[in-house]
Chain A
Amino acid sequence: MPTVAMTVNAKSVSGEVETRTLLVEFVRDQLRLTGTHVGCDTSQCGACVVHVDGRAVKSCTMLAVQCDGASVTTIEGLAANGELHPMQAAFREHHGLQCGFCTPGMIMSAVDIVNRLGVPSEETIREELEGNICRCTGYHNIVKAIGAGARVMNGGT
């Protein structure tokens, strides 16, 4: 079995994997970082979104071996020095989550949206969330939370 080595949440990790092992399986089963979730088997739901080299990626759609040498951030690595990331804080403040299962992927996607687009309009946020499914919130408060998180990430309050 091949060995992969990567940086996950600023820590160097390595492990033996089957070539067919998905990134999400490596993260969840081998690294025991269970914040990243699997909600479907067709790359649709987005519960598994992580950042690979700064880009949002569905970790169910990438092989672990493809990430050899990459820098991966999961939901567990988003808060820095015990401080919630502004997007995490916004989700809490605006009740952007209920059961919490889609939330890690939602937040990782949201951070990526803001990194790419600054402070997007409500319409843009809704379009950008095409790859993340939530069954609880009707998206109403997720959209609000992302707007609020975007403003804080861009220097607002």
Chain B
Amino acid sequence: MTATGIGAAVPRKEDKRFITGAGHYTDDMNRPGQAYAYFVRSPYAHAWVKGIDARSALAVDGVLSVLTGENLAADSIGGLPAGWAITSKDGSPMVTPPHPCLAQGKVRYVGDPVAVVIAETQKAARDGGDALSVDYEILDAVTETGQAQTASVRVHDEAPRNTAFEWEIGDKAATDAAFAAAKHVTTIDIVNNRLVPNAIEPRAALGEFDPGTDSFTLYTTSQNPHVARLVMSAFLNIAPEHKLRVIAPDVGGGFGSKIYVYPEETVCVWASRKVGRPVKWTAERSESFLSDAHGRDHITHAELALDERGKFLGFRVKTVANLGGYASLFATGVPTYLYATLLSGQYDIPAIHAEVDAVYTNTTPVDAYRGAGRPEATFVIERIVEVAAREMGVDPATLRKRNFVKKFPHQTPVIMLYDAGDYGASLAKAMELIDYKGFAKRRRKSAKNGKLRGIGFSTYIEACGIAPSQAVGSLGAGVGLWESAEVRVNPTGNVEVLTGSHSHGQGHETTFAQLVSDRLGIPIDQVEIVHGDTDKVQFGMGTYGSRSGAVGMSAIDRALDKVIDKAKKVASHLMEADPGDIEFKEGSFTVAGTDKSMAWAEVSLNAYTAHGISTAELEPGLKEGAFYDPTNFTFPAGCHICEVEIDEDTGVTEIVDYVAVDDFGTVINPMIVEGQVHGGVAQGVGQALIENAVYDESGQLVSGSYMDYGMPRADDLPSFRLGFTMTECPSNPLGIKGCGEAGAIAAPAAVINAITDALGHEDISMPATPQKVWQAVRSHRFAEAAE
């Protein structure tokens, strides 16, 4: 390991600009002559748009234009696509009705964009929006996941019972047989609460049309600018791919919410040509709450069949997933192939059958949010395992160990082939870290202080990388999910790496440079990572699903293989040796068995001067690219244990200890990986304790601001204690599994298992707010007293 190579906790290269205020986020960009967009959004959850009268808006000083869905349709601008095809169990395709960027006919959630006002200034655009007259015929709304299929309200005419698909996975007959043979069956009904991703940078877009070249440039807050360009080109008909440049500069957090193509950036690009001016839009936070794709929102009934020793025999799951008003880009893949395929957890379960219905409601569209399907799966299985252990009187750690997958590779009954892991090791390490043996004593001590103490496990698994392409294609994905990289060595020996991954907090400029430093033996300050610009990077699938290390860096690694191979050939010409005799180590080329050597920078310079190489045999230059498609998903896994203390009088839950032991395979920069775990756990704890997107019956988002939505603050959270175990991932050359989502996946079950352990009953739902916990304490105390 070099000082800046793989495994080194190097401070981040990107930090300098962020700590000095010199970052370049989309809203920091300004183009000469730019105008501003303001989106007029539906204040109603469900309504017909009977008419739009733009006269008073156009009369506002500075307003340039008012554009509506009719204008979009007249210009043949298409609707936003649903990019993951799901087939119902009866063989019928999913129902995904049109999703126009500006309402055409109906609005289907509060915040659905109806029109855009373009003006000289942001304030004038807003004033124009306030003046716009829209005539609505208000309809009844349905917002509750559990009521969507029986409600009289029809969100889309095309979708009877408001159902997009009724899908299943696994072997129903085998699962039924397992239940018939069971000695014990544990049943749970749980809700996975709806969340708002809340990246602190609000979404923004700046579209510009160049009439001289008939081309567009879009600066936008995207996790995957190439995918945005592809969708805008292939589905929306905004511009051909080669006439649209998408730049995602510094992006202030994503968590999934900036994967998708939204109406606003699409409209800004389109409008820039219509008004002949660059058009800029930046969301206000209230708009973010209404228009960023939300996360989770499942209701689930699950049954676990066990034998007399507690061995799992079968698992049966029925889930209804809320898609919101429309099917967002990856939404249909989330409650299916990113969810039900992980229902085996870390366990050897012979038979699993899961059914998932996806429904439309008059709510903001739901799509992948940190973890995407895997937190929901983990919550189901880790809750039911904990409940089963309590029902059977078995220690929850013991029951888990008894059922862990111990031999690899392991084929689950729900598609996934687990390639490597050691679940016993992470459980043992976490138990040691939290001092599980000493818990009973700590509980007694808490009781003396009038507090209820509980401990909860979450032994989670996730499937990351979201690849290989053939596999995801066979499951319905609309794109391949490889990654690309290009390594450009400059004549002076420094290196530019162009990657299709996108960094919005993950620190790629550092970790990717560490890989280059490790392989080429040059310091990381000699390496520049270029990302987020479709004109610079040839193509890329972007960053989500903890894929940038496992897939993105593997592509860089492959390109580095080629660069080193080529450099060795250059060195062989220069040192007049056989290429097979050239060795490259720590930045130096040597000829085996001789004292001849050349430094990295000498070889790179000579690759460009080409004076010493025979160019008939070897091309000048030193630049190579690679497209990398892994052989399997990766399977990060681990054990999180949470310990809580509940104040019976106030219902306040305090997390008194939180231990996370994760197996992420190879770790490039432990400091950055730990930071990813901290942030993920914080989001998972937020879901468990305070976060909740709440709609009232009319479809108004009640928790639509930071005054109302429980964003975790510093004093809501503890410091976390982290540990790592390591099994190398065999599915990519670096052995990386990925770390971005683990915390958000593991934490909710660990927290709720701890709270239910403290309460002594299972009757609590997320978020376990003080009010709910207080009521849960009271109701059971009265019930006990009544007995």
Q: Which residues of A contact B (CB under 8 A)?
A: 18, 20, 28, 33-42, 44-45, 47, 74-76, 78-79, 84, 88, 91-93, 95, 97-104, 107, 122-123, 125-127, 129-130, 132-143
Asked whether, in the complex, the Cβ of A88 is within 8 Å of the Cβ of B19, the reply is yes
> Which of B196-204, B324-332, B533-541 sits within the interface?
B196-204
Q: Could you tell me if B198 and A95 are in contact, using CB atoms closer than 8 angstroms?
A: no
Interface majority SS (helix, strand, loop, mixed), chain B: loop
- How far, in whole Å, are A33 and B30 apart by their CA atoms in the complex? 12
In the complex, identify which listed stretch (B248-256, B488-496, B586-594) lies at the interface while the others stay far away. Answer: B248-256
Q: Which of A74, A79, A98 contacts B679 (CB 8 A)?
A: A98
B28 at the interface (CB under 8 A from A): yes
Chosen A-B contacts, 19 in total, with CB atoms closer than 8 Å, are A18-B123, A33-B21, A34-B25, A38-B282, A42-B285, A91-B19, A95-B671, A100-B505, A107-B19, A132-B714, A133-B200, A133-B711, A134-B200, A135-B253, A138-B683, A139-B678, A139-B682, A139-B713, A143-B714
Contact in complex: A39, B505 (CB < 8 Å): no
B777 CB within 8 Å of chain A? no
Binds A, one of B8-16, B563-571, B637-645: B8-16
Given A40-B285, A98-B505: A88 and B20 within 8 A (CB)?
Answer: yes
Cβ distance A140 to chain B, nearest Cβ, rounded Å: 4
Contact with A along B224-248 (1 / 0, CB 8 A): 0000000000000000000000000
Of the candidates B199, B200, B675, B719, the one whose C-beta lies within 8 Å of that of A95 is B675
Q: Judge whether B20 and A79 touch: CB under 8 Å.
A: yes
Q: Which residues of A contact B14 (CB under 8 A)?
A: 100
Separation of A74 and B251 alpha carbons in the complex (Å)? 21
A150 → B minimal CB distance (Å): 15
B17 to A, closest residue via Cβ: A100
State the total of A-B contacts with C-beta under 8 angstroms.
Answer: 181
Q: For A127, give the chain B residue with the smallest CB separation.
A: B715
Contacts of A135 in B (CB 8 A): 198-200, 253, 255, 679, 683, 711
Q: Are A129 and B713 in contact (CB under 8 A)?
A: yes
Cβ of B714: which chain A residues have Cβ within 8 Å of it? 125-127, 129-130, 132, 134, 139, 142-143
Q: CA A75 – CA B706 in complex, angstroms?
A: 24
Closest B residue to A144 by beta carbon equals: B719
Report the Cα distance A87→B170, complex, angstroms.
54
Q: Which of A39, A84, A88, A92 has the most CB of B within 10 A?
A: A39
| B526 sits at the interface (CB 8 A) | no
> Lowest 5 A-B CB distances belong to which pairs?
A35-B21, A101-B252, A100-B18, A138-B682, A99-B505
Instruction: Please measure, in the bound complex, the distance between the C-alpha atom of A75 and the C-alpha atom of B18, giving whole angstroms.
Output: 10
Q: Does any Cβ of A come within 8 Å of B707's Cβ?
A: yes
Q: Are B719 and A103 in contact (CB under 8 A)?
A: no
Bound Cα distance from A81 to B742, whole angstroms: 42
Given A91-B15, A93-B11, A135-B679, A99 and B21 contact (CB-CB distance below 8 Å): no
A127–B260 Cα distance when bound, in Å, is 35
Is B681 an interface residue, CB under 8 A from the partner?
A: yes
CB closest chain-B residue, reference A143: B714
B708 closest partner in A (C-beta): A42
- CB of B507 within 8 A of chain A? yes
Residue of B nearest to A134 (CB): B200
Whether A130 contacts B200 by the Cβ 8 Å rule is: no
Of chain A, the residue at the smallest CB distance from B285 is: A40
Chain A residue nearest in CB terms to B19: A88
Verify A103–B679 contact, CB threshold 8 A: no
Q: Residue on A with the closest CB to B255?
A: A135
CB < 8 Å: which of B11, B251, B706 contacts A40?
B706
Q: How far is the CA of A38 from the CA of B28 in the complex (A)?
A: 11
Contact between chains at A35 and B20 (CB < 8 Å): yes
Which single residue of chain B is at the shortest CB-CB distance from A91? B19
Distance in angstroms between the alpha carbons of A47 and B253 in the assembled complex: 13
Q: Which of A28, A84, A101, A129 has the most CB of B within 10 A?
A: A101
- Which one, A34, A41, A97, A133, contacts B19 given CB within 8 A? A97
> Min CB distance, B427 to chain A, in Å?
23
Contact A103 B717 (CB under 8 A): no
Interface 1/0 per residue, B14-55 and A, CB below 8 Å: 111111111111011000000000000000000000000000
Residues of B within 8 A of A (CB): 11-12, 14-25, 27-28, 123, 198-202, 250-253, 255, 282, 284-286, 504-507, 671-672, 674-675, 678-683, 705-707, 711-715, 717, 719-720, 743
Q: How far is the CA of A98 from the CA of B681 in the complex (A)?
A: 15
Taking a contact as CB atoms under 8 Å apart, the answer to whether B200 and A104 are in contact is no
Of B11, B16, B705, the residue contacting A41 (CB under 8 A) is: B705
- A48 to nearest B CB, angstroms? 11
**Additional A-B contacts beyond A95-B671, A126-B713, A133-B713 (13; CB < 8 A):** A20-B123, A37-B200, A41-B286, A44-B705, A47-B200, A78-B20, A95-B12, A98-B505, A101-B201, A101-B253, A103-B19, A130-B715, A139-B682
Bound complex: CA A143 to CA B252 (Å) = 20
On whether the beta carbons of B251 and A99 are closer than 8 Å, the reply is yes
B674 to chain A, nearest CB (A): 8
A135 to B681, CA, bound (A): 11
Once bound together, how far apart are the Cα atoms of A40 and B11, in whole Å? 29
- Most chain A CB within a 10 A radius of its CB, from B17, B18, B507, B712: B18
Asked if A45 meets B19 with Cβ closer than 8 Å, knowing A92-B11, A133-B706, A135-B255, the reply is no
Question: Considering the chains assembled together, what is the distance between the CA atoms of A25 and B188 in angstroms?
Answer: 51
* A82 → B minimal CB distance (Å): 10
Q: Contacts A34-B28, A100-B18, A135-B200: A122 and B719 contacting too (C-beta < 8 A)?
A: yes
CA gap between A126 and B705 in the complex, in Å: 22
User: Contact: B20 with A76, CB < 8 Å?
Assistant: yes
Choose among B20, B28, B712, B717 the residue that contacts A84 (Cβ–Cβ < 8 A).
Answer: B20
Taking the closest CB of chain A, its distance from the CB of B221, in whole angstroms, is 10
A145–B312 Cα distance when bound, in Å, is 46
CB of B679 within 8 A of CB of A92, answer: no
- Give the distance to chain B from A126, nearest Cβ to Cβ, in Å: 4
- The closest CB in chain A to the CB of B20 belongs to A79
In angstroms, Cα B20 to Cα A107, docked, is: 10
Given contacts A93-B11, A133-B711, A135-B255, contact A44 B706 (CB under 8 A): yes
List, in ascending order, chain B residues with CB within 8 A of A36's CB.
Answer: 21
Assembled-state Cα–Cα distance A102/B200 (Å) = 7
B252–A99 contact, CB under 8 A?
yes
* Inter-subunit contact A41/B200 (CB<8 Å): no
Distance (Å) between the CB of B204 and the closest chain A CB? 10
Q: What separation, in Å, do the CA atoms of A42 and B504 have in the docked complex?
A: 24
Chain B residue at smallest Cβ distance from A32: B30
Complex Cα spacing A34 to B18, Å = 11
Which chain A positions have C-beta within 8 A of B681? 138
CB neighbours of A130 from chain B (8 A): 713-715
**Cross-chain contact B678 with A100 (CB below 8 angstroms):** no
Residues of B within 8 A of A78 (CB): 20
Asked if A44 and B707 make an inter-chain contact with CB atoms under 8 angstroms apart, the answer reads yes
- How far, in Å, is B564 (CB) from chain A's closest CB? 31
A63 CA to B707 CA, complexed, in Å: 21
Residues on A with C-beta less than 8 A from B199 are 99, 101, 135
Determine whether the beta carbon of A98 is less than 8 Å from that of B507.
Answer: yes
Query: CA of A126 to CA of B200 in the docked complex: distance in angstroms?
Result: 19
Q: Shortest distance in angstroms between B708's beta carbon and chain A's nearest beta carbon?
A: 9
